[in-house]
Amino acid sequence: MAEALPRVLVLHGPNLNMLGLREPQIYGRTTLADIDAMLIALGKELAIGVETFQSNHEGELVTKIQQARGHYAALVMNAGAYTHTSVALLDAVLASDLPLVEVHLSNLYKREEFRHHSYLARAAVGQICGFGADSYLLGLRAAAGIIART
Ligand code: DQA
């Protein structure tokens, strides 16, 4: 029987469902559906199963991360504004025992001071920001590299 592909869970936090409409000068015109489709296509190339999940609710993201433990090989997450506020998401990632690649469309360090701190960064293998939708694709490639090395 063929071996099952490793799976990566891509999480999108609050307001990312508004991509395409939301502040296009910062986030671009690419919609979340476009990003998900690109991730799934890249996953096929990399022989990785990709699942995506968006929520505007912190608790739903926490629950999804808890449920990921043992079922996925890595997490790629853009936690949106929760990046800068959520100890609960940090704790959920630590409890999941899964490698995390943190991604952001915009370059956080060119923006307001409050976006410079990420609670998730200390649980992440690394952070990719500033490349628009490509940040997610680079993030998936990074996750594939981590999986290949483990
Ligand atoms: C973001 C950056 C966050 O500061 C912001 O709250 C977002 C999107 C990004 O992808 O650039 O919602 O995570």
- The pLDDT tens digits of the residues spanning 94-143 come to 999 999 999 999 999 999 999 999 999 999 999 999 999 999 999 999 99
The residue whose two tokens read 């609670």 is 119
54 lines ligand 1 (CB under 6 A): no
7-149 has which fold? Answer: Rossmann fold (3.40.50)
Which of 32, 55, 105 gets mutated to test ligand 1 (max ligand atoms within 8 A of its CB)? Answer: 105
27 assigned to active site: yes
* Rounded Cα–Cα distance for residues 46 and 25 (Å): 31
Question: Crossing angle, helix 87-96 and helix 58-68, to 10 degrees?
Answer: 10
| DSSP E strand boundaries for the chain | 7-12, 49-54, 74-78, 100-104, 126-129
- Of the candidates 32, 39, 37, the one whose C-alpha atom is nearest the C-alpha of residue 8 is 39
Q: What order do you get walking across the sheet with 7-12 strand by strand?
A: 49-54, 7-12, 74-78, 100-104, 126-129
Question: CA torsion 143→90→53→35, rounded to 10°?
Answer: -50
86 lines ligand 1 (CB under 6 A): no
What are the residues whose beta carbons fall under 8 Å from the beta carbon of 60, sequence distance 6 or more? none
- The pLDDT tens digits of the residues spanning 54-103 come to 999 999 999 999 999 999 999 999 999 999 999 999 999 999 999 999 99
